[in-house]
Amino acid sequence: MPAPRKSTRSAAARDASASPAAPRAIAEQLERHGVRPSAQRVAIASYVLGTEDHPSADQVWARVKERFPMVSRATVYNTLRHFTEKGLLRELVLAEGRQVFDPVIEPHHHFVDDETGAIRDIPWSALKVAKIDELEGLDVREYMVVVRGVSRGARKG
């Protein structure tokens, strides 16, 4: 068995990302997560499980409609909720006025660009949060650092 990969995306996201044009692989991933792989869901998964853009539901809809014009808005919303429930996606509150979706399931931090609104992942190990266990009276399910500012140099929009 190969060594663990550096990528922290879910198995589904990794496969989707590695083979974005492989609907069969995506369908199999959906099935492994207990999601029936209809054509619409495979199309939605092809995009959302392989993107680093942290899109909103309507952004996913706009994107999937390019190649699947008949897909309905309700289907996209239903499917994103279903993927979230099945552990394929995380739903985050990071942007004003909308929820965003993140295929990287494992813990990580986020950076939100003040100028562009773009959201990007910060690896878990890039930051250390000390004393989280000393928060009294709180059962911590998860935590992350949200960093806001401006990107410079690499990765211009």
Binding site for DNA (CB under 7 A): 35-36, 38-41, 56-58, 70-75, 77-79, 81, 97-99
Closer Cβ to DNA, 8 or 99, answer by number: 99
Residue-wise DSSP of 10-46 = -HHHHHHHH-TT-HHHHHHHHHHTT----HHHHHHHH
57-67 vs 73-85: helix axis angle to the nearest 10?
Answer: 120
Contact partner at residue 142 from a copy of itself, DNA, none, CB < 5 to 8 Å by partner kind = a copy of itself
Tell me if residue 80 falls in helix, strand or coil: helix
Q: Which range, of 4-12, 23-31, 73-81, 95-103, touches a copy of itself by CB under 8 A?
A: 95-103
**Min CB(85)–a copy of itself separation in Å:** 15
